[in-house]
Amino acid sequence: MHPADIADSERLVIFVFGDDMKEDGAHWRAFMPGADGERSLYRSEGLDFCEVAALGKDVARQRPDNKRLRGWAVISASDVRKLPGLQLKVSEPPDGHGIIDSWPNERMNKVSLAQSLADDAATIRFPFSP
């Protein structure tokens, strides 16, 4: 059970699929919002590596595109909130799910924000298919 609000200190996980994982980390495309204007994420406080990996496998199974889970990016809520305009919101179910929303309309501005998130992220890269 997570608190109703996402604390600045929370670690957030963005799962990375297909070719959005580079040799040196997650590509900025992994942080871009979808057609709905949101970027899905999961709150990872209290979860160990195996629990995050299992969650990622569940998310991968639900994707319509069948792209392989390549790993995940970890950012803090404060990394998101320091960027102009972006907002974090709890979006459950499932438990621990959240979104980044309030992205700008212009693609160039979205890319710039996604690049900033990618620069701040730590990355867990699978050397194998989980």
The pLDDT tens digits for 7-52 are 999 999 999 998 898 888 899 999 999 999 999 999 999 999 999 9
Give the domain ranges of the chain.
11-125
Burial status of residue 92 (CB atoms within 10 A of its CB: 0-12, 13-18, 19 or more)? exposed
Q: Residue 125's pLDDT is what? A: 87
pTM above 0.85, yes or no: yes
Q: Is the pLDDT of residue 130 over 50?
A: no
